[in-house]
Amino acid sequence: MWGTGAIYDHGAQLVEWTPAGHPGVLFLSRHARFEPGSAIRGGVPIVLPWFGAGLSGDRTPAHGFARLSTWQLVAEHADAGGDAEVAYTLSSDEPRLRADYRVILGRDLRVRLTVENTGDESVRFEEALHTYLAVGDATRINLTGLDGAEYLDQAAPGGLVRARQQGDVSITSEVDRIYDSTAAVTIVDPSLQRTIEVSKRGSASTIVWNPWREKAAALADFGDDEWRRMVCVESGNVRDAAVTLVPGQRHTLEVLISVCATVC
Ligand code: BG6
């Protein structure tokens, strides 16, 4: 048996993936809301078809409607190797898109989001698999894989600033960055004595987010102290990397998460 997991039709949102022998790999807030109209704080929210306030800067709800929608479950089964596979679909009229989402839970976690333009005009959209990862102490983790990447700093005091990553990423204050990167990111967590690797395909943006103390205290569905227990390493295509699809065209974003003891 590979372990345990849980997914909700609401947002097609995976909230638990616990491979045997490890503490849960996904962070879920103890204050998460499970109700219509709310996004679930934790797990893997699907950000679609816009990120934040979108390309125009005035879109609501934040991060798009997909994480607030009830997705249709189209398949669930265990494959020959014992991995659990779940598939969901969601269609929207504005913009005209269909999203197919496949989750494979096993010793590794695979999530695959395919978006198809079902209309008769080109569509430009943003997307992200907003993975909340559980860590022992965010102030002690190191994120490798982003050295040299350019990023947009969304937490800079004077507003948005572009910068270049030097070395590993560590969390010593609020971090909210959109990296231009297709690379895998490894989270080295000495407190839980494990590493989590997030690798991806079809993604030109990596978003790293930790709200730190002040923002955590301001979030109603997040414990004041929970910022220490999580980091989001999100894989997507946002802002300049938004995806354009002509009618009938599809795009697939895929994320693979694997975990192992620190020495692996
Ligand atoms: C991240 C954004 O992806 O999501 C942050 O970069 C944002 O700016 C965070 O604060 C959480 O967003 P929300 O809408 O779930 O509170």
% of the chain exceeding 70 in pLDDT: 99
- CA 143/CA 151 separation, integer angstroms: 15
Residue 177 Cα: closest atom of ligand 1 = 6
Average pLDDT, the chain: 97
Query: Does position 264 have pLDDT exceeding 70, yes or no?
Result: no
pTM beyond 0.85: yes
Using pLDDT thresholds of 50, 70 and 90, give the confidence band for residue 10: very high
Domain assignment of residue 77, given as a range: 3-260
CATH code assigned at 160: 2.70.98.10
Residue 128 Cα: closest atom of ligand 1 = 3
Q: Do you find a cis peptide bond into 61, omega within 30 degrees of 0?
A: yes
Name the residue at shortest CA distance from atom 1 of ligand 1: 209
- Binding site membership of 234 for ligand 1 (Cβ less than 6 Å): yes
- CA 98/CA 263 separation, integer angstroms: 42
Per-residue pLDDT, 18: 97
Phi, psi (degrees; rounded to nearest 5) at 163 = -150, 175
- Binding site membership of 130 for ligand 1 (Cβ less than 6 Å): yes
How many structural domains is the chain composed of? 1
- Binding site membership of 154 for ligand 1 (Cβ less than 6 Å): yes
Could you give the C-alpha distances from 28 to 38, 44, 226, in angstroms and in order?
A: 14, 9, 10
Name the residue at shortest CA distance from atom 5 of ligand 1: 176
**pLDDT per residue over 168-223, tens digit each?**
999 999 999 999 999 999 999 999 999 999 999 999 999 999 999 999 999 999 99
**pLDDT per residue over 116-159, tens digit each?**
999 999 999 999 999 999 999 999 999 999 999 999 999 999 99
Structure tokens that stand for 209 in this block:
């987010």
Of the residues 46, 63, 131, which should be mutated to test ligand 1's pocket, given the most ligand atoms within 8 Å of the CB? Answer: 63
Q: Which is nearest to 52 in space by CA: 194, 256, 264, 236? A: 236
CA–centroid distance for 39 within its chain: 13
Per-residue pLDDT, 82: 87
